[in-house]
Homo-oligomer: A and B are copies of this chain.
Amino acid sequence: MTRFTHLDEAGHARMVDVTEKTPTVRSASAVASVRCSTEVVTALREGTVPKGDVLAVARIAGIAAAKKVPDLLPLAHVIGVHGVVVDLEIVDEGLDISATVRTADRTGVEMEALTAVTVAALAVVDMIKGVDKLSEIVSAKVVAKSGGRSGDWIRGTTPTPDVG
């Protein structure tokens, strides 16, 4: 039976009570991909546009976004955010983004990691939209988590009975 923990018995949205969960070190990683024109990729690679600030702006937007999760997602908890890394790599088709978020608090940080890469991707699209209005986000997903009661998990390596 499918149980949506963010809804109560009457089906109303709620913030799940985690007061009884133990604060432990938890981390989660996510990735996202932006696809854009070869012109943009070339410009970034050849340095005809300054790579530094494009990637820096996206990285900082991603780090900041990890901290905004309680504000962005109505049912997310207010927890401590104790470590964030966001990386961007220029690839042939665009940019690949990854993030790892760490906390020593009561809930997992999958949404913080996923929000970090997604908002970093939005920042990339914002900066390149003037030269490539077709750029798009083609993927954003959590790829790993560790810590907490449900233990470690890596996408692709663990069969997950949750999937129908």
Q: Which of A1-35 contact B (CB under 8 A)?
A: 1-8, 10-20, 25, 27, 32
Tell me the bound Cα distance from A70 to B81 in angstroms: 10
In the complex, which range does the number of interface residues on chain A fall in?
Answer: 35 or more
Is residue A90 contacting chain B, with contact meaning CB distance below 8 A?
no
In the assembly, how many copies of this chain are there?
Answer: 6
* Secondary structure type dominating chain A contacts: mixed
User: With a CB–CB cut-off of 8 A, which chain B residues contact A111?
Assistant: 122, 125-126, 129
Quick check: A104 and B2 within 8 Å, CB to CB?
no
B82 in contact with A18 (CB, 8 Å): yes
* Beta-carbon contact of A40 and B2 below 8 Å: yes
If the complex has contacts A60-B60, A74-B123, A139-B138, are A129 and B102 also in contact, measured as CB distance less than 8 A? no
**Residues of chain B within 8 A of A129, CB atoms compared:** 110-111, 142
A57→B81 contact, CB < 8 A: no
From B61, B63, B76, B136, contact of A141 by CB (8 A): B136
Q: How far is the CB of A67 from chain B (nearest CB, A)?
A: 5
